[in-house]
């Protein structure tokens, strides 16, 4: 390992840098970026806050955590050998299986020797005179590198609710993204879950299997749909393996890199009977089909959206026995699919259990967490365990938590007041040689598919610079202005942009995140790639290279 030191200057004034590139984060994107940069012969260091690889799948060990996209469509596609040797056990892998997979990848490609664990980056400052980034870890050690690559994830800065008394609870309590590594038993316990997003839903349905009594504190219900998970037999795995080339080709063509893509028909172009039959079919199928493979207009046409919302509401009413509880579980302030659809397995049936209570905190707000439980305006509840499934300071939150300063000491956090501004979601004006993987304004969708493209594009740019002996790359102001405007325009007319959620930058637990912003690229993944490919094909002229 290179010694930690401030950037030194050689006699010829060329800096002696610790590394060519520093990658922050050893999740899916950081691991793959390391692999690719090593291929280029670069000296790379990955700093990872956790004690192991995996990122999202390292931190989110909460009960019931699993994929919502098909396992085989989620794994890396870059190595034929890896595809040949890895067998997925379930169509939607549980977190331990995914973490095993990512550990396998790290071992197979001998990635660990360039990863420094237990190393949270506190600050990253640009040095113009030496064209490099100086990083400071939270333990005070310092490192320098030409390139800074952020692989810090769009959903990795967990947020606790701003409720009085959180610290006073004497029982066990935990945010889902900081779940302990040791098993937690719920048997005979009184457990509270706050939050009913995709994480809360997975947690609730798992905890309900063994809990003494479960109380769910719900602020906003979400439109959930069945996952239809199942084990993958040996025969199926053989078929999946044989079909990999076609499957990845399909993921390259679909809107958001999922196996599912919008049906070309409009909701009102078919008869009511055909519509109902189509929705029944989607409701009975695996994964995100009902969200991503639905009629093309359900997320832009209010009437179409109201119809599919009605359909799902009927399903909820059929599945939940107590009509009052059912009504509480049906969203009233947003339509189906306008927030991320949590996929579930017998989630609604949980509320038919006699040992499960749903508390609507709009009716009876939480007043405080007490040493023994939770006090609402109507009652005081005692708990052994409180689970906070309260989500993340999404997309920009993981950047905000690092003191990133660019040219003339400009803080990224200040630059992004009022919403991120980027070029292709990869670069920011005033922050040369910083490349973002899965940053704001990139195509998210089926994340590993987007990651692979993102990493390969960044690698291409760095290769180009190396080949042309260039040491500085920065987004041009006009490029940033036009990309940011393009991203904004793409979001126009999308019902999801009229709704409060992490996707629109809202987090009630974070100062300054109460106003909706456009932080997500909402065009198609193929269109995103076409644009980036074009920039690369023109020799990256749209970037200021020197």
- Exactly one of 54, 391, 439, 448 binds ligand NAP (CB under 6 A); which one? 391
Closest CA to 311 of 336, 285, 289, 294: 336
Sole window of 110-118, 197-205, 346-354, 471-479 interacting with ligand NAP (rule: CB under 6 A): 197-205
- For ligand NAP, the binding residue among 30, 153, 195, 397 (CB under 6 A) is 195
Q: What six digits make up the tokens of 467?
A: 């080949």
Cβ nearer to ligand NAP, comparing 98 with 119: 98
E strands, 219-265, where?
225-226
- Please identify which residue in 143, 502, 521, 528 interacts with ligand NAP, judged by CB under 6 A: 502
CB of 356 to ligand NAP, least distance (A): 17
Residue 290 tokens read as 């009902």
197 lies in the binding site for ligand NAP (CB under 6 A): yes
CB 175, min distance to ligand NAP, A: 9
CA distance readout (Å), 329 to 314, 414, 527: 11, 39, 37
Q: Which is nearer to ligand NAP, 391 or 430 (CB)?
A: 391
> Are residues 267 and 308 in contact, defined by beta-carbon separation less than 8 angstroms?
yes
- Which of 125, 190, 340, 520: binder of ligand NAP (CB under 6 A)? 340
For 2-155, where are the E strands, in sequence order? Answer: 8-9, 15-16, 19-24, 44-47, 115-116, 121-127, 132-137, 142-150
CA distance 124 to 143: 9
Among 14-22, 35-43, 65-73, 435-443, the segment contacting ligand NAP (CB under 6 A): 65-73
Sole window of 30-38, 278-286, 416-424, 501-509 interacting with ligand NAP (rule: CB under 6 A): 501-509
- Cβ–Cβ contacts within 10 Å for residue 122, how many? 13
CB of 160 to ligand NAP, least distance (A): 8
Whether the CB-CB separation of 481 and 441 falls below 8 Å is answered with: no
User: Can you tell me whether residue 96 is helix, strand or coil?
Assistant: helix
Q: Which stretch binds ligand NAP (CB under 6 A): 164-172, 193-201, 448-456, 515-523?
A: 193-201
Name residue, tokens 């987007």.
Answer: 450
Binders of ligand NAP among residues 160 to 179 (CB under 6 A) are: 161-163
Our CB check for ligand NAP shows the closer of 82 and 361 to be: 361
Question: At its nearest, how many Å lie between ligand NAP and the CB of residue 201?
Answer: 7
**Placement of tokens 């359909």 in the chain:** 311
The CA distance from 482 to 477, in Å, is 9
389 binds ligand NAP (CB under 6 A): yes
Quick one: angle between helices 525-537 and 447-467, nearest 10?
Answer: 0
Q: Do residues 379 and 176 make contact, with C-beta atoms less than 8 angstroms apart? A: no
- Of 68, 400, 429, 542, the residue at the interface with ligand NAP (CB under 6 A) is 68
| Binding segment toward ligand NAP, per CB under 6 A, in 34-42, 144-152, 188-196, 532-540 | 188-196
Residue 290 or 480 with smaller CB distance to ligand NAP: 290
Query: For ligand NAP, which is the closer residue by CB, 155 or 480?
Result: 155
Q: Looking at 267-275, 291-299, 390-398, 478-486, which segment touches ligand NAP (CB under 6 A)? A: 390-398
Rounded to the nearest whole angstrom, what is the least distance from the CB of residue 219 to ligand NAP in the complex?
4
Q: Which range binds ligand NAP by CB under 6 A, 122-130, 157-165, 260-268, 475-483?
A: 157-165
Spatial CB neighbours of 454, under 8 Å, sequence gap ≥ 6 = 29, 426, 437, 438, 442
Identify residues 75-114 at the interface with ligand NAP (CB under 6 A). none
Of 31-39, 46-54, 154-162, 231-239, the window that binds ligand NAP (rule: CB under 6 A) is 154-162
Whether the Cβ atoms of residue 157 and residue 402 lie closer than 8 Å to each other: no
200 scored as a contact of ligand NAP (CB under 6 A): yes
The runs of H, that is alpha helices, within 421-524 are 447-467, 477-490
Residue of minimal CB distance from ligand NAP? Answer: 197
Neighbour-count burial for 123-141, b at 16+ CB within 10 Å, e otherwise: ebbbeeebbbbbbbbeeee
- Contacts to ligand NAP by CB under 6 A: 66-68, 155, 161-163, 194-200, 202, 219-220, 340, 361, 389-392, 502, 508-509
């Amino acid at each position: 390992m290179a010694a930690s030191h401030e950037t030194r200057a050689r006699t010829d004034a060329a800096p002696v840098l610790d590394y060519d590139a520093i990658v922050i984060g050893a999740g899916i994107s950081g691991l793959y970026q390391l692999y690719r940069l090593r291929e280029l012969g670069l000296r790379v260091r990955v700093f990872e806050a956790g004690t192991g690889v995996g990122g999202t799948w390292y931190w989110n060990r909460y009960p019931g955590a699993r994929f919502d996209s098909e396992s085989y469509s989620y794994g890396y596609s870059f190595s034929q050998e890896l595809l040949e040797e890895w067998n997925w056990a379930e169509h939607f892998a549980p977190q331990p299986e995914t973490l095993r997979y990512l550990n396998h990848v790290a071992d197979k490609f001998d990635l660990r020797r360039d990863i420094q664990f237990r190393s949270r980056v506190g600050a990253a400052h640009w040095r113009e005179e030496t064209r490099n980034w100086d990083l400071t870890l939270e333990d005070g050690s310092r490192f320098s590198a030409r390139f800074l690559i952020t692989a810090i994830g769009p959903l990795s800065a967990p947020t606790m609710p701003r409720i009085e008394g959180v610290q006073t609870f004497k029982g066990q309590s935990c945010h889902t993204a900081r779940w302990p590594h040791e098993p937690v038993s719920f048997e005979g316990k009184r457990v509270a879950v706050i939050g009913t997003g995709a994480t809360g839903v997975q947690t609730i349905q798992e905890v309900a299997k063994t809990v003494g009594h479960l109380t769910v504190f719900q602020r906003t219900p979400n439109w959930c749909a069945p996952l239809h998970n199942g084990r993958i037999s040996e025969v199926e795995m053989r078929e999946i393996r044989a079909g990999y080339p076609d499957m990845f080709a399909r993921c390259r063509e679909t809107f958001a890199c999922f196996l599912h893509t919008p049906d070309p028909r409009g909701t009102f172009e078919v008869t009511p009977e055909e519509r109902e039959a189509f929705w029944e079919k989607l409701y009975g199928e695996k994964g995100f089909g009902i969200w991503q493979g639905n009629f093309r207009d359900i997320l832009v046409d209010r009437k179409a959206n109201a119809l599919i919302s009605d359909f799902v509401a009927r399903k909820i009413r059929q599945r939940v026995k107590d009509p009052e509880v059912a009504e509480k579980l049906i969203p009233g302030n947003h339509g189906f699919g306008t927030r991320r659809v949590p996929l579930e397995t017998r989630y609604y049936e949980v509320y038919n259990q006699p040992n499960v209570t749903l508390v609507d905190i709009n009716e009876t707000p939480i007043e405080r967490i007490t040493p023994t439980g939770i006090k609402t305006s109507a009652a005081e509840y005692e708990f052994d365990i409180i689970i906070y499934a309260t989500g993340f300071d999404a997309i920009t939150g993981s950047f905000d938590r690092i003191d990133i300063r660019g040219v003339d000491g400009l803080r990224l956090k200040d630059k992004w007041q009022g919403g991120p501004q980027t070029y292709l979601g990869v670069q920011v004006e005033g922050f040369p040689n910083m490349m973002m993987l899965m940053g704001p304004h990139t195509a998210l969708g089926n994340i590993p598919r987007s990651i692979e493209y993102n990493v390969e594009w960044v690698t291409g740019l760095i290769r180009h610079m190396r080949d042309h002996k260039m040491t500085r790359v920065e987004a041009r102001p006009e490029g940033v202005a036009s990309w940011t405007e393009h991203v904004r325009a793409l979001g126009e007319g999308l019902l999801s942009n009229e709704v409060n959620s992490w996707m629109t930058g809202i987090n009630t637990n974070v100062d300054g995140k109460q106003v909706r912003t456009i932080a997500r690229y909402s065009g198609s993944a193929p269109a995103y790639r076409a644009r980036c490919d074009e920039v690369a094909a023109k020799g990256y002229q749209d970037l200021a290279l020197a």
